[in-house]
Amino acid sequence: TNAAATAAPATPAAAKKISLGFAQVGAESGWRTANTKSVQDSAKEAGFDLKFSDAQQKQENQIKAIRTYIQQKVDVIAFSPVVESGWDTVLKEAKDAKIPVILTDRAVDSKDTSLYATFIGSDFVEEGHKAGKWLADKYKDTKEDVNIVELQGTTGSAPANDRKAGFADEIKSNAHLKVIASQTGDFTRAKGKEVMQAFLKAHKDIDVLYAHNDDMALGAIQAIEAAGLKPGQDITIISVDAVKDGMTAASEGKINFIVECNPLLGPQLMQAVNDVVAGKQIEKRIVTKEGVFTSEDAKKVLADRQY
């Protein structure tokens, strides 16, 4: 007998692993690292064949990765779009190839919603509202101007656009709350530090920093301390994410208020992949639940924080 005759039968088609192509934004923040780990761990647990790529915050790299997944004929493509615009062409290519696409974390602004199966992630406008509401409450009786500087996330990204809009909407009813400078810090610590340094040079009277994520706030804290000021006291600091380093700074009183953005999207994504492959109807929008933390809250939960 030859070897082929005694070999185990080929794996039946039904037992074939589901292949998932995931095009990640990059590794720009603590949030992103936690998000990547969540996706990788959950894919492993679900028994999927995960193909993972890191776009280094560049849309062109993500488009390339998606095209590669289409060529490889993966079962499902998931990605977290770096920016909101400019996806229609590649999404149509996936649709023509009959490969379902799931958006995670960040949205696209495509008018044609048939280009993706669902969008799983936070409500970033709501996050901006939570940040703005806390500040508006804090200064509701102020008789003086409150000078706010803003560190925006990656230009053109959904979280930068939406966190800015939600915050602005919340503070607009009080004319004393003034955003005197607003620039991108690209969601990174290094850029947050650099831009905050420039803000401090240009403005001697900054009362509040609103950073669109913890990493930029942490970079800014270094700049504030280097300028001989006390973060959390001389300058009130608000940020978004609630990753461990941010929560540590909050527990030390250096960040006054953090709006949570949950990076642990892996389990929900794998569930959606299973459902889409099984041909089930799924919700077009799956919103993650999240809270807010003051310095006091951060002290209480810090020890149990997983990421």
Shortest distance in whole angstroms from residue 18 CB to ligand AHR: 25
Give the binding-site size for ligand AHR (rule: CB under 6 A): 13
* Region of 26-34, 48-56, 203-211, 249-257 interacting with ligand AHR (CB under 6 A): 26-34
Alpha helices in 47-157 (DSSP H): 59-71, 88-96, 124-138
Examine residue 79 and tell whether it contacts ligand AHR (CB under 6 A): no
Single-letter amino acid code for the residue at 252: E
Shortest distance in whole angstroms from residue 215 CB to ligand AHR: 6
Shortest distance in whole angstroms from residue 276 CB to ligand AHR: 22
Examine residue 159 and tell whether it contacts ligand AHR (CB under 6 A): yes
Examine residue 100 and tell whether it contacts ligand AHR (CB under 6 A): no
Which CB atom, from 31 or from 69, has the smaller least distance to ligand AHR?
A: 31
With CA atoms as reference, report the closest residue to 139 among 108, 170, 164. 170
With contact defined as beta carbons under 8 Å apart, do 53 and 24 qualify? yes
Examine residue 106 and tell whether it contacts ligand AHR (CB under 6 A): yes
Edge-to-edge strands of the sheet including 285-287? 49-54, 19-24, 76-79, 101-104, 118-121, 285-287
Q: For ligand AHR, which residue of 146, 240, 258, 286 counts as binding (CB under 6 A)? A: 240
Q: What DSSP character marks residue 179?
A: E
Q: For ligand AHR, which residue of 20, 32, 108, 254 counts as binding (CB under 6 A)? A: 32
Tell me the three state secondary structure of residue 303.
helix
Interface mask toward ligand AHR for 252-291; x: CB under 6 A: ---------x------------------------------
Which CB atom, from 218 or from 276, has the smaller least distance to ligand AHR?
A: 218
Q: Is the sign of the CA dihedral 139, 252, 125, 281 positive or negative?
A: negative
Edge-to-edge strands of the sheet including 177-184? 177-184, 146-152, 208-211, 236-241, 257-260, 292-294
Shortest distance in whole angstroms from residue 281 CB to ligand AHR: 27
Examine residue 31 and tell whether it contacts ligand AHR (CB under 6 A): yes
Examine residue 99 and tell whether it contacts ligand AHR (CB under 6 A): no
Which CB atom, from 91 or from 103, has the smaller least distance to ligand AHR?
A: 103
Examine residue 187 and tell whether it contacts ligand AHR (CB under 6 A): yes
Q: What DSSP character marks residue 235?
A: B
With contact defined as beta carbons under 8 Å apart, do 100 and 276 qualify? yes
With CA atoms as reference, report the closest residue to 206 among 150, 147, 139. 147
Examine residue 232 and tell whether it contacts ligand AHR (CB under 6 A): no
* Region of 15-23, 27-35, 71-79, 96-104 interacting with ligand AHR (CB under 6 A): 27-35
Examine residue 105 and tell whether it contacts ligand AHR (CB under 6 A): yes
Which of the residues 126 through 155 are near ligand AHR (CB under 6 A)?
none
With CA atoms as reference, report the closest residue to 286 among 268, 270, 301. 268
C-alpha–C-alpha distance, residues 172 and 95, integer Å: 42
